[in-house]
Amino acid sequence: MSITPATTTHSSSKGTADAILLELVDENGVTIGTAEKLAAHQPPGQLHRAFSVFLFDEQGRLLLQQRALSKYHSPGVWSNTCCSHPYPGEAPFAAAARRTYEELGVSPSLLAEAGTVRYNHPDPASGLVEQEYNHLFVGMVQSPLRPDPEEVGTTAFVTPAELAERHAKDTFSAWFMTVLDAARPAIRELTGPSAGW
């Protein structure tokens, strides 16, 4: 199976763009089929596999990204380090590492599984629905970032206090607090008690 980056539009021999497919899953995360990416997010949403990455620096600060204004879903909002969808048949861990590099130009120096969370979050701004079975990952970043401007508007490393302040005044993705809260046990284990997560 060929793997096509989600940021690229490819044309087939007939001159039409290839659809980006997501894995549809049941409530236990078992694959039951595929759907085109945008169709899976149309109301009421189809339950599909996703992943969320939380990377930290050596001071225990969380790397946030502000999504590029050109993105069709949740443009310009702040969110966790990286979140996307595996291609059908792609392991979530491999997808998380791949997509982190594609979006931020950096490979995590450590990446570990942090459980899963299932949610249903309508996005009021776009009208799209995040109906996801989300695989969580935590890790460390120790290299300079090289964000892709088509994907990422800007980035910031934040402490828990700085995150609370930013969350009170800026717009965050509809799923952000759900995935952060689900990943907190693994985040605390990674960063230690002094980091305050």
**15: which residues sit within 8 A by CB, 6+ positions away?**
none
Lowest-pLDDT range of 65-74, 90-99, 143-152, 185-194? 65-74
Q: What element of type H or E holds 136?
A: strand 129-140
pLDDT value of position 109? 93
Question: Once rounded to an integer, what is the mean pLDDT over residues 118-142?
Answer: 93
Q: Is the pLDDT of residue 5 over 80?
A: no
- pLDDT grade, residue 17 (50/70/90)? low
Lowest-pLDDT range of 8-22, 58-72, 94-108, 145-159? 8-22
pLDDT value of position 13? 37
pTM, rounded to two decimals: 0.88
Catalytic residues: 83, 132
pLDDT value of position 19? 84
Q: Is the pLDDT of residue 10 over 80?
A: no
**Distance from C-alpha of 126 to C-alpha of 173, rounded to nearest angstrom:** 11
Q: Is the pLDDT of residue 89 over 90?
A: yes
For 56-80, the DSSP string reads E-TT--EEEEEEPTT-SSSTT-EE-
pLDDT value of position 15? 39
Report the percentage of the chain scoring pLDDT > 70.
Answer: 91
Higher pLDDT, residue 156 or 125? 156
Closest CA to 35 of 26, 43, 25, 23: 23
Q: What is the mean pLDDT of the chain?
A: 90
Give the pairing type, strands 129-140 and 48-56. parallel
- pLDDT grade, residue 47 (50/70/90)? very high
* Per-residue pLDDT reduced to its tens digit, 150-197: 999 999 999 999 999 999 999 999 899 999 999 999 999 999 999 999
Question: Once rounded to an integer, what is the mean pLDDT over residues 78-82?
Answer: 97
For residue 193, what are its two tokens? 């008690």
